[in-house]
Amino acid sequence: MTMIQSPIQRYLEDLHARIAPLSDGAVADYIPELQLANPGWFGICIATHDGHVYEVGDTRQAFTIQSISKPLTYGLALEQNGKAAVLAKIGVEPSGDAFNAISLQPETGRPMNPLINAGAIATCGLITGDTTADKMDHILGSFSRFAGRTLEIDAKVYQSESATGHRNRAIGWMLHNFNILADEPTPTLEAYFQQCAIEVTCHDLAMVGATLANGGVNPVTGTRALAQEFVSQVLSVMATCGMYDASGDWLYQTGLPAKSGVGGGILAVQPGRLAIAVFSPRLDAQGNSTRGVAVCRAIADDLQLHVMDGTDRNMTPVRRSLTRRSAASKQRRSESASGYLKRAGDRIRLYHLHGALVFSTVEEIIRRLMARAPESEVFVLNLKLVQGVNPAAARLLSDTQKALQTLGKELLFSDASVCWHKLVDAGVDPQSFYADDDFALEHAENRLLSKLQPTHPGDTPFALAECALFRGLDAQDMLLLERFLLSRTYYKNQSIVSAGQASNELFVITQGKAMVSTPTEHGIARLDVFPPGSTFGEVAFVDQSPRSANVTALNTVECKILTRDAFSDLENEAPKVKIRLMENIALSLAGTVRQINRELASLK
């Protein structure tokens, strides 16, 4: 088998080759362990929000996470303390200063943001636990959930960081002085040194980023690493403060929230979409990986990932819009009811939705509903292909349902499995959900009939000769024909015909109702309901192929049955009767062709 290389993989390989000659900058040297890094190491990963990773170069080489730990610990602090408590201790303003600037607000001592050292140490102070070990349990657990594997501390790097971290100790004591760190700062400082010394690979960083792009859930393990509500906050501080004194320029040029570490790693995230991780230990004057910066800029530019570019966000949520004229329930109606429904067909409207329901997609739906509301009676929203609904959107749908209700109109939902809980939590009436369009439309039709047609006529009594199959036959023909027909009775829920079965029989219902259905994942889909007078089974009767669906008695069903043998015998005894029956069968098939063609056209 020929191996086929994805053009995306090839793009990354070309980029790696293009950037590899860039040998500006130097490996971090403030502790001896970092100096051991091979300056030639160079790995690039792109990880998608659903967990697919493209990688090239030294993507499985371990190195220490360093400052890329800061936004992750900040997310954990938000989860453990809430936003208000964290903001009281640490600001979110870009400092305009270098990474190791102390940048405390003069009166409060509050660090400007969580991504400078002072802010990161204050963040560590907010992590649950009185001891370094307790804090690190939480931090390592969180980081491991982000990466999708158990991460560990590089003990040598930690010891070296701790042995030389005097400036950070000074910051720690200054924070204690301002009561930003309430307790003696040593356990917090040691936790800070340890979190910076956590060992990761470029591939790990990509998975961390994919988890942020995926709303906090690691897309490979399915484990939540960060509560959804704090993902935007973590990405915001990366966007405004992630690249220290060049953060404005970084967002302007790449449009991606990002964070780098002196270990040579850099992580950038396109929210909702993907992550870029680069590892190359040579650092520029700002302490960012030289190649890492070049790679992120190139990818953001080449692949057009700017977060302020909204061109991929203006998609309509309405996949298809139908009225009852092209989408009717499978419930058979009396002739008068059918007439009513036909005339009032556009008072029932069905919308097939897709994508994510957020404010601006739901706004479009509501706008369309409101425009149609004056002349409509019932709206059905099919949610089968909806990928999610956020609370704001759910609330608006609930409000819309209530607004329609006060006007005597209904908003129903079908196929809502994924969203049911969130909609009900937001106040949507639990009675307004239906398994599929068919049942929702049946309810809508019943409602319309009850309004339009105060007295609902029952099924009219039925005489055999009135059946469409026997059209054109006179009384004498019918007498003769009856000798060729079998009679059979089926009871409620009894199977009349099974899909896949061979069959030589054509059915006419003289009493009761039968349902045609096919099995689905979660139950059955109803294809049709046959009232008395219906003929069914023509297709298999004609082409002798297996039955294509199940037919089940809905109550006591009396049938007349024409077998193929009897039909064959009829040819000699009464050819004209056979011709009439053949004509009626052909007519019924022609009607079916026209009807499914209409259904097909409405779906295209």
Q: Return the number of other C-beta atoms located less than 10 Å from residue 249's C-beta.
A: 10
| Cβ atoms within 10 Å of 219's Cβ, excluding its own | 19
271 sits near its own copies (criterion: CB under 8 A): yes
Compose the 489-528 pattern: x for residues touching its own copies by CB under 8 A, - for all others.
Answer: ----------------------------------------
> In this complex, which beta carbon is closest to its own copies, that of residue 482 or of residue 599?
599
Q: Are 419 and 326 in contact, with CB atoms under 8 Å apart?
A: no
Query: What is the secondary structure of 209-224 as a DSSP string?
Result: HHHHHTTTB-TTT--B
Report the alpha-carbon distance of residue 57 to residue 551 in Å, rounded.
61
Q: Which of residues 134-173 bind its own copies (CB under 8 A)?
A: none
Q: Which residue type occupies 125?
A: G
Determine if 49 is a binding residue for its own copies (CB under 8 A). yes
The answer to whether 550 contacts its own copies (rule: CB under 8 A) is no
**Which residues in 176-215 contact its own copies (CB under 8 A)?**
213-215
* Amino acid, res. 23: S
Please tell me whether residue 360 binds its own copies under the rule CB under 8 A.
yes
The CA angle 80-86-88, to the nearest 5 degrees, is: 150
Distance CA 144, CA 133 (A): 16
User: 177: Cβ–Cβ under 8 A, 6 or more apart, which residues?
Assistant: 109
Question: Residues 6 or more apart from 344 whose CB is under 8 A from it?
Answer: 324, 377, 448, 452
**Nearest residue (CB) to its own copies, 40 versus 427:** 427
Kindly tell me which of 15 and 539 has the beta carbon lying closer to its own copies. 539
Q: What is the DSSP string of 2-53?
A: -----HHHHHHHHHHHHHTT---SEE--SSHHHHTS-TT--EEEEEETTS-E
Among the listed residues 318, 356, 468, 561, the single contact to its own copies using CB under 8 A: 356
Report the residue number, 459 or 477, with the smaller CB distance to its own copies: 477
CB of 298 to its own copies, least distance (A): 12
Residue of 54, 67, 95, 432 with catalytic role = 67
Residues 371-390 that bind its own copies (CB under 8 A): 373-374, 387-388, 390
Binding mask 309-328 for its own copies (x = CB under 8 A): xxxxxxxx--x---------
Q: Is 593 in the site for its own copies (CB under 8 A)?
A: yes
> Which residue in the set 21, 84, 166, 308 belongs to the binding site for its own copies (CB under 8 A)?
308
54 flagged as catalytic:
no
Minimum distance, C-beta of residue 466 to its own copies, in the bound complex (Å): 19
Strand partners, 490: 557
Q: Does 539 bind its own copies (CB under 8 A)?
A: yes
Instruction: Choose the catalytic residue: 70, 89, 259, 513.
Output: 70
CA-CA distance, 106 to 167, in Å (whole number)?
A: 19
| Binding of its own copies by 303 (CB under 8 A) | yes
Tell me 149's DSSP state. Answer: S
Task: Tell me which of 358, 435, 452, 464 binds its own copies, using CB under 8 A.
Answer: 358
Stretch that binds its own copies, among 42-50, 189-197, 278-286, 471-479 (CB under 8 A): 42-50
For its own copies, the binding residues in 326-355 under the rule CB under 8 A are 354-355
Which range touches its own copies (CB under 8 A), out of 128-136, 181-189, 362-370, 503-511?
362-370
- 192 as an active site residue: the answer is yes
CA distances from 389 to 210, 435, 565 (A): 21, 18, 58
Task: CB nearer to its own copies: give 310 or 500.
Answer: 310
262 classed as catalytic: yes
List the one residue from 13, 80, 96, 325 that touches its own copies (CB under 8 A).
96
DSSP string of 90-154, one letter each residue: S--S--SS-TT---B-TTT--BS-TTSHHHHHHHHHHSS-SSHHHHHHHHHHHHHHHHTS---B-
Assess 6 for contact with its own copies (CB under 8 A). yes
User: Catalytic residue among 192, 340, 351, 490, which?
Assistant: 192
Cβ atoms 477, 577 nearer than 8 A: yes
| Structure tokens belonging to residue 545 | 């192929």
Q: Is 70 among the residues known to form the active site?
A: yes
Among 85, 182, 370, 465, binds its own copies (CB under 8 A): 370
The nearest distance, CB 400 to its own copies, in angstroms, is 5
Q: What is the CA radius of gyration of the chain?
A: 35
Q: Are 508 and 486 in contact (CB under 8 A)?
A: no
Q: Which one-letter amino acid corresponds to residue 566?
A: A
DSSP string, 407-419: TT-EEEEES-TTT
In this structure, are residues 207 and 49 in contact, taking their beta carbons and an 8 Å threshold?
no
5 binds its own copies (CB under 8 A): yes
The smaller minimum CB distance to its own copies, of residues 59 and 361, is found at 361
CA dihedral 482→487→492→497, nearest 10 degrees, is -90
Site for its own copies in 110-139 (CB under 8 A): 113
Candidates 556, 419, 547; CA nearest to 490 is 556
117-125, 164-172, 173-181, 574-582 -> range binding its own copies (CB under 8 A) = 574-582
Q: Residues 400 to 459: which contact its own copies by CB under 8 A?
A: 400, 403-404, 407
Catalytically active residues, by annotation = 67, 70, 192, 244, 262
